[in-house]
Amino acid sequence: MDDIRQNPSSGDEVALRRIQRLSLHLYTPSEPHSGGLSLLPCRAKRNLSPSVESLSEYMRGPHREIQARIFEFFQSRPDLQTPVEISMAEHRQLCMRQMTALVREAGIRPFRYLVENPSAYFAIAEAVGGVDISLGIKMGVQFSLWGGSVINLGTKKHKEKYFDGIDNLDYPGCFAMTELHHGSNVQALQTTAIFDPITDEFVINTPNDGAIKWWIGNAAVHGKFASVFARLVLPLQGKGGKSADMGIHAFIVPIRDLETHSLLPGVEIHDCGHKVGLNGVDNGALRFSHVRVSRDNLLNRFGDVSRDGKYTSSLPTVNKRFAATLGELVGGRVGLAYSSVGVLKIAVTIAVRYSLLRQQFGPPRKPEVSVLDYQSQQHRLMPMLASTYAFHFATQYLVDKYSEMKKTNDDQVIGDVHALSAGLKSYVTSYTARSISTCRESCGGHGYAAVNRFGILRNDHDIFQTFEGDNTVLLQQVAGDLLKRYQEKFKGGTLTMTWNYLRESMSSYLSQPNPVTARWEGEDHLRDPKFQLDAFRHRTSRLLQSVAARLQKHSKTLGSFGAWNRCLNHLLTLAESHIESVVLAKFIEAVQNCPDANTREVLKLVCDLYALDRIWKDIGTYRNVDYVAPNKAKAIHKLTDYLSFQVRGVARELVDAFDLPDLVIRAPIGMASEAYEQYTQHVGF
């Protein structure tokens, strides 16, 4: 070969190029190019035999015991189990009875966990959501929203007065933020709270129909109090003796008599009626007609009004006070992301178990084969199963970071949690919503039966994409935060933990892709977590740099708002790419930290499928910048299909490891055993 290199003829040049190209397929990626051919070692394929018990033990986290208590309690109380067919009025009453029984009979106090041990609270929320998603949301309204607003936005006097009543359900309440005309744009709310210095009261008023509080959970039937978000107005405190608008604040407003449950004077409530889902939650619309509340009812952690009508705050501007107020409510997003993964686990479990059970067609004169043996079914469900595992570890990390935030109040952790909760809530809930429909389709006609849960899960979960922040709006918050960090990088600022990779490797990610590594297609290389994570982060860094340049260009002619709108789809793609990078990083960490070798091997397989499936789904991006050569793209596609086939071999164990009791699954076709027998019994045979 040295002779060929030194004295090449045209034919020799062709041969040399072919040999060099072939060598790219044969080099071990971790070894430097030595100039000679080296064969990758052949790795024997073997069947995995995962231990469900070991996998489940690693998955379940520290609060499985309290979840088991919840499941056992509701299993022992058939009168508290939600039937398939139930009217809206009956469902609402049942949900209230379920929540009351959980607190007063089972002795589980979610509110105390919310304050003292947030990760345990989220585990409780996941469990009760498994019993009935309406119950999970109603519990969230009572404790996380109504209770959380009192604890997080109020001060010691509010906790002393309201904590016990919220905790024991003597004070059922609402969270009255959304209005008919404004949902996501909270700063534009129109409800007013005008201070009356003569009576030392705030006057809560709905100035027009657009300001009617709308979609307020617990309001139509059960609520006795509401945290009302309104514009705090101080008469004569503005320029020239005009009224001063101090921005959005929260007020505790009694709405029903504690004894008679009658509406209080000036409070008008109407039922929002039957919804697509979550009909166990009583949503109502509230209008306030000059309702007077004590000055002490202002939740005054971030801003207060003295007896003589003077406003004081530790935060200097309306925008800073608003950010601090909403920042304290981030727990709702954390809970929704975490609970959405719980819903996804249920749907995937039903679909996978049924696909293993169901047999259709097969080779001539041979037994029919399992539906999950078909490549098309594997393509539908196995990447989804892998994503469920990925989201499990990512949201577990989010819950841990939220708990750390509540303990330390560290500014960097706060910033990290705010952006990460927005991103994961948006990404995970959107993915789950799409996946439930895919699971329904994968189960054919039997997936359409209400008793098999997909319709109920889809309808109840669908609104997860909207409340606690519309998903498109939340992704824009993530993109905005990324751009802020990008600017700080060039100003020498520090980055929070989730964004460290931007600081550490932005320059390398934005350099020209290596034409050699772009062609590597060996399985060891493609399954190397470094390659996978580098690919995800390369995409995010490219998107971030390019959208920053586009915004700068368009802002010169369109202004900042117009430029943002012109680049909006680009910004949303950037945010999703970043969240996928975080999810993969946390999955890789979970694999590496798994103490049991056999379980770790199974999780590595699932993690590889998640990573390569995501790369393949966006292969055009990688091809456009020559990060992946055509031969490598083809290899990724083939390996993704093969990994789906391998995961199919352990799919039963993977869904069993979720450790979901029959009380939660409930669908006859999703039972671990005797599925057809239970299905026929359900219809009366």
Q: What is the pLDDT of residue 512?
A: 63
CB burial readout 375-384, b (16+ within 10 A) else e: eebbebbbbb
Strand (E) or helix (H) holding 284: strand 284-288
Return the pLDDT at 15. 47
Residue 12 is predicted with a pLDDT of: 54
Q: Say if strands 192-196 and 225-234 run parallel, antiparallel, or are unpaired.
A: parallel
What distance in Å separates the CA atoms of residue 255 and residue 291, rounded to the nearest whole number?
Answer: 9
Given CATH 3.30.479.30, say whether it is the number of domain 330-665: no
> CB–CB of 105/69 below 8 Å?
no
For the record, the structure tokens of 252 come out as 């505790």
Active site residue 105: no
Fold of 53-166: Butyryl-Coa Dehydrogenase, subunit A; domain 1 (1.10.540)
Domain 176-327 carries which CATH code? 2.40.110.10
User: Quick one: pLDDT at residue 461?
Assistant: 98
Paired with 233 in beta bridges are 194, 245
Question: Cα separation of 665 and 469, whole Å?
Answer: 28
pLDDT value at position 391? 98
Annotation: binding site: 178, 217
**Series of mean pLDDT values for 10-residue runs along the chain (685 residues):** 46 48 40 33 58 93 93 97 97 98 98 96 96 97 97 96 98 97 91 97 98 97 98 88 92 98 98 97 98 98 94 89 84 95 98 95 92 96 98 97 92 91 97 98 96 97 94 96 82 51 58 72 93 94 92 94 96 97 97 95 98 96 89 96 97 97 96 89 88
Which of 226, 184, 220 has the alpha carbon at shortest distance from 206? 226
Catalytic residue among 126, 201, 468, 521: 468
CB 498 within 8 A of CB 420: yes
Backbone angles phi, psi at 229, to 5 degrees: -95, 125
Through-space distance between the first and last CA atoms of the chain, rounded to whole angstroms = 78
Say if residues 40 and 528 touch (Cβ distance below 8 Å). Answer: no
Nearest to 664 by CA among 211, 136, 188, 148: 136
The set of residues, in sequence order, having a beta carbon less than 8 Å from that of 201 and lying 6+ positions away, is: 195, 292, 293, 294, 295
Residues contacting residue 304 through CB under 8 Å, at least 6 positions apart: 298, 311, 312, 313
Every domain of the chain and the residues it spans: 53-166, 176-327, 330-665
Binding site for FAD: which residues?
A: 178, 217
Letter for the amino acid at 29? P
Which pLDDT value is given to residue 43?
40
Strands (E) in 70-160, as ranges, are: none
What pLDDT score does 31 carry? Answer: 37
For 229-254, the DSSP string reads EEEEEETT-SGGG--EEEEEEEEEEE
> What long-range pairs does 446-451 form, CB within 8 A, spacing at least 24?
446/354, 446/669, 446/679, 447/351, 447/354, 447/669, 450/84, 450/85, 451/84, 451/666, 451/667, 451/668, 451/679, 451/682
Query: What is the phi-psi region of residue 303: left when phi exceeds 0, alpha when psi lies from -120 to 50, beta otherwise?
Result: beta
Cα–Cα distances in angstroms (integers) from residue 346 to residues 339, 384, 451, 452, in the given order: 11, 12, 14, 11
Report yes or no: 610 and 387 within 8 Å, Cβ to Cβ: yes
Strands 173-176 and 225-234 turn out to be parallel
Cα-based distances in Å from 564 to 174, 557, 558, 569: 35, 12, 9, 9
